[in-house]
Amino acid sequence: MPIYEYKCEACGHTFEAIQKMADAPLTECPDCKKPALKKLISAAAFRLKGGGWYETDFKTGNKKNLAGKESGPAVSQSSSSSKTESKAK
């Protein structure tokens, strides 16, 4: 869910709120209780929640390679270009 930033025009209080995109904007300030909130335009933000994400979490079998290791035999450009040349003849 997106994190929106709000500022109260009455008391100057700023805060962030996690809301669904379909939710209506907040209007009441949690500090002064006045209906003077304005949604601010800010950089996109997100929050990673949980134990963490790892490269190997959703991979099975031989695909559980760590970053930097190759997953299979590398095909050199010279061997692939010679194959296309022989097919063209």
Q: Report yes or no on 35 lying in a domain.
A: yes
Question: In which order are the strands placed within the sheet that holds 37-40?
Answer: 14-18, 3-8, 37-40
**59 part of a folded domain:** no
Q: How would you classify residue 46: left for phi > 0, otherwise alpha for psi between -120 and 50, otherwise beta?
A: beta
If one counts the domains in the chain, the total is: 1
pLDDT 10s digits, 23-72: 999 999 999 999 999 999 877 666 666 666 666 666 666 665 555 555 55
**Which pLDDT does position 73 carry in this prediction?**
53
**What sign for the dihedral angle of Cα 28, 30, 34, 39?**
negative
Token pair 């290791």: residue: 69
Close Cβ partners of 51 (under 8 Å, ≥ 6 residues apart) = none
Is 50 within a domain? no
Model confidence, pTM: 0.49
Q: Which of residues 54 and 83 earns the better pLDDT score?
A: 54
